[in-house]
Structure 1
């Protein structure tokens, strides 16, 4: 057996002490170093009735946990008071940062003030928090660009740039309490209003303003009922409906159900129907011809950007920002990071959604 000298023992002891100090210095920002509690991030999402919000919540939880945080993920099922209560509980429980996708941000002003008073940073997720100075940053997609992409899809498919028309069109816009819906509408009209003005696009119902076309909480049922009323009121005499400019996949499902109920058939007298979020059902509908297009907003990218915002804020650093002008919430212009949306249809869904592993071929029934 090899004899261990006193010098060797001293060397080994010194090495052990060095390793202890080295490991103590490697604590992650989520824990704040050795002996500190793991930081908790409260994530408030609006509803699980939409596939995209389920994905958003799951992606945020996965990303934040990979950074070492504990995650308190809550869904309010589009119940405003339930979301207020959930955020109040997150504050009471001492959550270190809040990430909020609001149902109605106007109802959150007071509870957000509580967060600020407790020195809890707040990051708005995909929906801007309005009328409050208690929000630090905003992670979202370029919402006006979403509207522009929807408008350009209709423009291209109808050949409007080439002077074709007139075409009959109806509009379905998002929820009036969602700032994104207003930006999206502005983007759509930036492209399509000139064609309404020159007569290439005609809206038989005359309902083209935001107020006359918005659907509270993006309700599929309300959209279906409105489409049924439009068909019976303006298209019962056989007038052709060429396009329905829809701001969200859930609205598009209701629109399609109303059309089918009235005898319309995909591939025959079916109009162009747009959408947003590239939900699984919407992509299946694109493949089958029941929907023409959707906007792909890769929630993996949004979750990644938002999680790095959380990390930067809790580390006392400034997160990556690419917009400091657009998102005025009436109390301040919120520094934002805008992710880029992608328009998808039958021609590119394989590349954008399957090749990127957002969906599998099995999920899409391919």
Structure 2
């Protein structure tokens, strides 16, 4: 898979700081909250450890490369590691970063509960820890969290499913000529060891549940609780297998068909779409259901253009990387980054100060403006479904 991705394309966004927060000292504690160790000495050129979960999905490669580029432009050395979705590997990588003398850590965890000893070591060395997109749980040694408004992402997914079914209009309001249904839908959620997955699902269900209650939406499988519909590790193959099982157990083509699927991420959407296509959906009179997604990956952008996926949620990872660089730079200069949310993200022991970024629903109608015109993807990448080398 391509390694370069958007690293170079994100430079302008990283350099201009279009959404950067001011680096004001605002007090507080946590690992590395004050001077000590490598952080807070005001010197440039220190080492920053960046731990990403996997290179399997294009978004994590893009995130890692963009964070690395931004930190290097700010004058820091970077140790960027991808863990192959293997928890012991990520633990070992973070241990190595600490032993190398990292002065700050930016961590997108595989399992947000599995890094306790690494965070204790970081705290003992006064190394600030920035949790990247996935909240690190069960530790007081997390200083800051950069992410998107994850509950709102779920709301947007639920809203786009209803819009695609014709229940809501493009503004998210009840459509004047709303389709009455009932519509057969199935629900999918993300990995249960990813704290974000619960926010996505809860946000989506806040929108969908009233329509399930009044039977505008029907879930023929009866599977509606998070634990049942969650897909471990966000794996495409698991999503495909579950959709195949649902089709076999619950649906009879021509009698009971799938009208919509709540999918929490593009990688899961693609597994669902493969299962549906293999079962004859998208051929003849059997239309593809309305299928949601998240991450605006090139492969799914092409599926949206082709009419196989209805929507995705665009989380501009260039801005997320910028925010991580802003936070790390603040700590390394002896300050603290400014949070715009100090109430939502309780990781167990503490509420972690956070910076939340906005997201956008993308469909075929606005894909060009949001993804291509913004420079996130090229027209060639959308057409091919692959990110350029």
TM-score for the superposition, normalised by structure 1:
0.89
Misfit runs of 4+, over 4 Å: 29-33
Query: Equivalences for 1:77-156 in 2 at 5 Å?
Result: 77-156=84-163
Structure 1 residue 174 and structure 2 residue 181: aligned?
A: no
> How many corresponding residue pairs?
336
- DSSP 3-state at the match of 1:107: coil
Are the counterparts in 1 of residues 39 and 126 from structure 2 also a CA contact under 8 Å? Answer: no
Are the counterparts in 2 of residues 220 and 254 from structure 1 also a CA contact under 8 Å? Answer: yes
Aligned CA RMSD, in angstroms, stands at 1.7
Moved more, 335-344 or 232-241: 232-241
1:165 is aligned, of 181, 191, 204, to 181
Measured in 2, the distance between the counterparts of 1:236 and 1:242 equals: 13
Superposed displacement of residue 31, structure 1:
11
Are the counterparts in 1 of residues 236 and 271 from structure 2 also a CA contact under 8 Å? Answer: yes
TM-score for the superposition, normalised by structure 2:
0.84
Measured in 1, the distance between the counterparts of 2:380 and 2:213 equals: 45
Runs (5+) with no aligned partner, structure 1 = 1-28
The match for 2:76 is: 69
Considering Cα pairs closer than 8 Å and 6+ residues apart, tell me whether 1 or 2 has the greater RCO.
2
Superposed displacement of residue 156, structure 1:
1.9
The structure where helix makes up a greater share of residues is: 1
The match for 1:212 is: 228
Superposed displacement of residue 318, structure 1:
2.2
Residues 31 and 200 of structure 1: CA distance in aligned 2, closer, same or farther (over 3 Å): closer
Structure 1 residue 53 and structure 2 residue 60: aligned?
A: yes
Structure 1 residue 191 and structure 2 residue 198: aligned?
A: no
Measured in 1, the distance between the counterparts of 2:264 and 2:361 equals: 12
- DSSP 3-state at the match of 1:199: coil
The match for 1:7 is: none
Structure 1 residue 260 and structure 2 residue 277: aligned?
A: yes
Larger Rg: 1
The match for 2:289 is: 271
Q: Encode CA deviations 1:203-223: one digit per residue, 9 max, x unaligned.
A: 000001101100000010010
Are the counterparts in 2 of residues 32 and 38 from structure 1 also a CA contact under 8 Å? Answer: no
Superposed displacement of residue 320, structure 1:
2.3
Measured in 2, the distance between the counterparts of 1:360 and 1:279 equals: 12
The match for 2:30 is: none
- DSSP 3-state at the match of 1:364: helix
